[in-house]
Structure 1
């Protein structure tokens, strides 16, 4: 599994960071998503990545 972020779509809501701050952060410049771990390992990390994709209000996250 790989996390893909479209920073052009990101509105900086921060739901991904709230879901898992070990996987995601936000840019200090504009608040857009920063993927800290592009390929999460382990059931919990993968579950959190799926949750973040699902709740992202701008649909800026996807999984491959």
Structure 2
């Protein structure tokens, strides 16, 4: 059982879900359950990658 999944038994037992790790905006201070958006995971890294690419091309 992972604290970020809270009491969701499906994510603890189902082989298709148990290894899925979601990165939430914030977590419950006492239980560790993930709260807030998790659907935005990866967007920040994608944007940073494009900003880096733009900077590289401008510096050539």
Shorter-chain TM-score category?
A: under 0.3
Larger proportion of strand: 1
Between 1 and 2, higher relative CO (CA 8 Å, sep ≥ 6) is seen in 1
Larger proportion of helix: 2
TM-score (norm 2): 0.25
* Larger Rg over CA atoms: 2
